[in-house]
């Protein structure tokens, strides 16, 4: 049996689906990974995985170029003849679904992990593209041999009400899971000393970067001794990318400490007291789940995806989106009440262990595969699910 995983970046495959790929491979299933070129491709190959470079450009809006990408996928699928194709993010799901239907791939799984730039941005270009993307999705997501995997209840409701796909084909699997043995309990915030606050995300405006900077400035002006850290790389392939010059200016101003890309996230969490994600919308934010597994208190926005992970005043604090003042108030609250921060962190880890263990997520994903594959093939997956 052969399964092909297709994503819009090698970084995504390595950070979010490596566990799934390795588990499939361990069970004797041939795995083919497909994404645009990038530095993580070598890491995938170093783990013994087969990786193919796709001519996909994330920022491209050129219709002819996009048609050529779909044609390239069709040729790839005709050559590889996978039993199942699993694609991630809206653009990849749409293109892969069209190409797979044309190539006669028996089974298709599309995972929409957040609604992306087109649905979250208020830019004129995003608003103009929205109806077109919806139309393409209706065409691409048809057929009984497809399952659409969503990560939060809000996205399920959105797809149900918009009639983009038959609701009987939708499956809810929160997050891509985390390795809870790697992300373990961290040191609780001390009663005294500078509070260490961290935002770890790709540097995109819709992650709430502007609000994070605004909150840091407000608390600095109030005389608070709080260290605001920003961990993440620039994502120039995304229309919502924060300019490099802006990040450097904030660091030079002393508002934040920019750490850039951090490889050792468990180590960074061990040097953190509070994790913040003021995003405008998410699928199911992995950074929050990893921080929760480390018993860190969370502050995030009351938006789809984020409020699925955090229950207000139970395992974190929720604030309105696009509200720097509310974010500053929540950070100040945990700065003043370190005991509350510790209680929230303990509760966050308990929930991460119960609901977001990567092993459970992989098993649920393979159960979706079983729905689509012939009985002879699904017999090879049975041990994974059970």
Q: Kindly tell me if the per-residue pLDDT of 116 is higher than 70.
A: no
Tell me, what's the pLDDT at 322?
A: 97
Percentage of the chain modeled with pLDDT above 90: 74
Domain boundaries, the chain: 2-177+357-385, 195-355
Q: What percent of the chain has pLDDT over 70?
A: 94
pLDDT over 90 (residue 320): yes
3-state SS record for the chain: CEEEEECCCHHHHHHHCHHHHHHHHHCCCEEEEEECCCCHHHHHHHCCCEEEECCCCCCCCCHHHHHHHHHHHHHHHHHHCCCEEEEECHHHHHHHHHHHHHHCCCEEEEEECCCHHHHHCCCHHHHHHHHHHHHHHHHHCCCCCEEEEECCHHHHHHHHHHCCCCHHHEEECCCCCECCCCCCCCCCCCCCCCEEEEEECCEEHHHCHHHHHHHHHHHHHCCCCEEEEEECCECCCCCCECCHHHHHHHHHHCCCEEEECCCCHHHHHCCCCEEEECCCCCCCCHHHHHHHHCCCCEEEECCCCHHHHCCECCCEEEECCCCHHHHHHHHHHHHHCHHHHHHHHHHHHHHHHHHCEHHHHHHHHHHHHHHHCCHHHHCCCHHHHC
CATH 3.40.50.2000 is right for the domain spanning 195-355: yes
The per-residue pLDDT for 136 is 76
Average pLDDT over residues 304-318: 96
- Return the pLDDT at 64: 86
Q: What does the mean pLDDT of the chain come to?
A: 91
Average the pLDDT over 244-268 and give the result: 96
Among 110-119, 267-276, 338-347, the least confident range: 110-119
For the stretch 186-226, pLDDT in tens is 777 777 789 999 999 999 999 999 999 999 999 999 999 99
Which range, of 3-17, 28-42, 369-383, averages the lowest pLDDT? Answer: 369-383
pLDDT at 366 over 60: yes
With a cut of 60, say whether residue 384 has pLDDT above it.
Answer: no
- Tell me, what's the pLDDT at 184? 87
pLDDT for position 125: 73
Banded model confidence at residue 92, pLDDT cuts 50, 70, 90? very high
Higher pLDDT, 368 or 64: 368
Banded model confidence at residue 121, pLDDT cuts 50, 70, 90 = low
pLDDT above 90 (res 61): no
CATH T-level fold of 2-177+357-385: Rossmann fold (3.40.50)
Average pLDDT over every residue of 262-272: 95
Does 195-355 match 2-177+357-385 at the fold level? Answer: yes
Residue 126 has a pLDDT of 74
């Amino acid at each position: 049996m052969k399964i092909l995983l297709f994503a819009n970046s090698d970084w995504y495959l390595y950070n979010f689906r490596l566990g799934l790929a390795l588990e499939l491979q361990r069970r004797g299933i041939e795995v083919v990974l497909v994404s645009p070129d990038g530095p993580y491709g070598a890491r995938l190959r170093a783990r013994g995985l087969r990786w193919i470079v796709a001519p996909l450009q994330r920022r491209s809006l050129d219709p002819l170029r996009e048609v050529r990408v779909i044609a390239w996928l069709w040729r790839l699928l005709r050559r590889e003849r996978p039993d199942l194709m699993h694609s991630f993010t809206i653009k990849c799901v749409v293109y892969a679904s069209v190409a797979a239907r044309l190539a006669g791939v028996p089974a298709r799984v599309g995972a929409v992990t957040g609604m992306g730039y087109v649905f979250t941005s208020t830019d004129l270009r995003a608003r103009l593209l929205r109806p077109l993307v919806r139309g393409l999705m209706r065409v691409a997501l048809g057929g009984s041999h497809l399952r659409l995997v969503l990560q939060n209840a809000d996205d399920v409701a959105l797809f149900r009400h918009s009639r983009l796909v038959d609701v009987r084909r939708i499956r809810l699997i929160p997050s891509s899971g985390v390795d809870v043995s790697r992300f373990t309990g961290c040191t609780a915030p001390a009663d005294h000393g500078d509070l260490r606050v961290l935002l770890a995300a790709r540097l995109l405006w819709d992650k709430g970067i502007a609000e994070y900077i605004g909150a840091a400035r407000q608390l600095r002006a109030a005389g608070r001794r709080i260290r605001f850290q920003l961990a993440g790389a620039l994502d120039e392939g995304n229309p919502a990318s924060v300019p490099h010059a802006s990040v450097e200016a904030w660091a030079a101003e002393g508002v934040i400490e920019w750490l850039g890309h951090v490889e050792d996230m468990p180590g960074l969490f061990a040097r953190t007291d509070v994790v913040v994600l003021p995003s405008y919308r998410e699928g199911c934010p992995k950074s929050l789940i990893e921080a929760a597994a480390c018993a860190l208190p969370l502050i995030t926005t009351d938006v789809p995806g984020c409020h699925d992970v955090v229950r207000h005043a139970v395992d974190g604090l929720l604030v309105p989106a696009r509200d720097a003042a509310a974010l500053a108030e929540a950070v100040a609250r945990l700065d003043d009440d370190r005991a509350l921060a510790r209680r929230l962190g303990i509760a966050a880890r308990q929930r991460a262990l119960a609901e977001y263990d990567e092993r459970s997520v992989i098993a649920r994903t393979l159960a979706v595969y079983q729905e689509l594959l012939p009985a002879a093939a699904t017999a090879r997956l049975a041990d994974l699910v059970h």
